[in-house]
């Protein structure tokens, strides 16, 4: 090959390689820019709304929020000193509406719309708000329709970004929220009717301990902590330097638990965050022999029966195991049979469709259980 032709070929190949590398670099920059824009438009507002709601729920359950509203200095005169005004009650309702609204944007437009873990966790929270079988019709129950309706009312589109491909949304301020609700109340609209029971409950409940629906709120607060921690681990930043705490209703008392952050890997499962991390903690089982392994005896949709040899000869273990399983979101009932060494669980398959295998793995791996409950 002539030198001139060789130089031309090498130059052409070099130019082509440079063009491909430049194109790939530009594509990566554009992808990162679009991802950052999605975070700004949808993920960050959702994350802040989730954090605001979980902090509110924590304060309602642990921080005596109701007592503070009754005795604290407020921005509005009251007929009675210990009365909670409509606007003060709406301050509690507002974060719920914001979260519902940003959840719609997060699931539809955000960069996590294809993240199976994030979508599953957000879905679980939505189902817990709507659940009637496990928690009944307490004032904090919002059906899926009401969640969507409230969310659409108070997180609204304000403009389009990058043509029509991205929509920019904004949550209404607390002032506008109160004005809109009170106007709807005067007009006899359905919007006020959707939250009137919750408003009346907040205004009439004497103390946080008397607040109905605490079991639902505790479960959702736990799920919000998991979701926030998961997104922060993926985004590699945190809204707070403090370790978030979870609440747990034991009888009439709220116990505070501290959980570690959730790892950002594909093997993560919501069930893995169920065991509580008190200090000190004791293992339910250590070095389980092969003959003592739990086994699935029978399973149908929403029901599973396990054979667990330790149940027949260790009543303390059986009691702790039942308490542990009962606190898994979606579990409806748990029964043990010491003679048959069996554990029967009824659960909502929409929340955990693979709960039999997950339970089996956790039990055989050895569950940690808080000695405080023993």
The string of pLDDT tens digits covering residues 257-287 is 765 444 444 444 443 333 332 222 233 343 4
Is residue 242 in some structural domain?
Answer: yes
Beta strand pairing status for 253-258 and 331-337?
unpaired
Instruction: Say whether both 144 and 67 belong to one domain.
Output: yes
Question: Do 157 and 196 sit in the same domain of this protein?
Answer: yes
* Residue 24 included in any domain: no
In a domain, 150, yes or no: yes
What's the chain's average pLDDT?
75
| Cis before 280 (ω within 30) | yes
330: left (phi over 0), alpha (psi -120 to 50) or beta: left
Query: Could you tell me the CATH number of the domain that includes residue 345?
Result: 3.30.70.100
**Residue 19 domain flag:** no
Same domain, 239 and 330: no
Regarding whether 260 and 287 lie in a shared domain, the answer is: no
End-to-end Cα, the chain, rounded Å: 86
Tokens of 147: 């969640």
For the whole model, what pTM was predicted?
0.61
- Same domain? For 45 and 101 the reply is yes
- 308 assigned to some structural domain: yes
Q: How many residues does the chain have?
A: 374
- Is the pLDDT higher at 203 or at 24? 203
CA atoms within 13 A on the CB side of 67: 9
- Asked which of 268, 299, 330 is the last residue of a domain, the reply is 268
Most confidently modeled of 160-164, 211-215, 357-361? 211-215
Burial class (CB in 10 A: 0-12, 13-18, 19+), 28: exposed
Q: In this structure, is residue 16 part of a structural domain?
A: no
Evaluate whether residue 9 is within a structural domain.
Answer: no
For 187-243, how does the pLDDT look when each residue is reduced to its tens digit (9 = 90+)?
Answer: 887 878 888 889 999 988 888 888 999 999 999 999 999 899 888 888 887 887 777
Q: Answer yes or no: do 173 and 245 share one domain.
A: yes
pLDDT confidence of residue 99: 94
Domain that residue 334 falls in = 281-373
Pairing of strands 303-307, 295-300: antiparallel
Cβ atoms 142, 130 nearer than 8 A:
yes
Q: Looking at the 3D structure of the chain, how many domains does it have?
A: 2
* Residue 165 binned pLDDT confidence (cut-offs 50, 70, 90): low
Between 366 and 213, residue with greater pLDDT: 213
């Amino acid at each position: 090959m002539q030198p001139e032709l060789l130089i031309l070929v090498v130059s052409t190949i070099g130019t082509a390689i440079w063009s491909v590398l430049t194109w790939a670099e530009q594509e990566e920059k554009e992808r990162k820019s679009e991802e950052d824009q999605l975070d700004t438009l949808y993920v960050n507002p959702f994350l802040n709304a989730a954090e605001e709601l979980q902090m509110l729920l924590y304060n309602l359950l642990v921080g005596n929020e109701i007592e503070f509203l009754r005795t604290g200095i407020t921005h509005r005169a009251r007929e009675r000193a210990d009365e909670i005004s409509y606007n003060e009650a709406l301050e509690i309702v507002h974060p719920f509406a914001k979260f519902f609204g940003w959840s719609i944007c997060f699931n539809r437009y955000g960069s996590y719309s294809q993240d199976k873990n994030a979508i599953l966790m957000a879905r679980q929270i939505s189902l817990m708000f709507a659940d009637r079988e496990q928690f009944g019709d307490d004032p904090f129950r919002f059906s899926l329709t009401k969640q969507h309706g409230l969310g659409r009312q108070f997180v609204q589109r304000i403009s389009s970004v990058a043509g029509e491909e991205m929509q920019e949304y904004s949550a209404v301020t607390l002032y506008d929220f109160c004005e809109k609700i009170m106007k709807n109340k005067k007009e006899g609209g359905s919007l006020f009717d959707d939250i009137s029971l919750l408003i009346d409950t907040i205004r009439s409940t004497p103390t946080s301990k008397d607040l109905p629906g605490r079991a639902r709120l505790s479960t959702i607060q736990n799920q919000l902590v998991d979701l926030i921690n998961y997104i922060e681990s993926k985004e590699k930043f945190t809204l707070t330097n403090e370790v978030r705490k979870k609440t747990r209703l034991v009888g009439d008392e709220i116990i505070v638990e501290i959980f570690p952050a959730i790892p950002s890997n594909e093997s993560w499962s919501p069930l893995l965050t169920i065991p509580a991390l008190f200090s000190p903690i004791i293992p339910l089982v250590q070095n389980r022999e092969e003959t003592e392994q739990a086994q699935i005896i029978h399973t149908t949709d929403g029901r599973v029966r396990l054979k667990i040899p330790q149940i027949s000869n260790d009543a303390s273990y059986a009691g702790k195991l039942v308490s542990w399983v009962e606190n898994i979101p979606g579990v409806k009932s748990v029964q043990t049979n010491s003679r048959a060494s069996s554990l029967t669980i009824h659960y909502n398959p929409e929340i955990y469709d693979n709960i039999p295998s997950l339970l089996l793995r956790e039990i055989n791996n050895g569950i940690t259980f808080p000695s405080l409950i023993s």
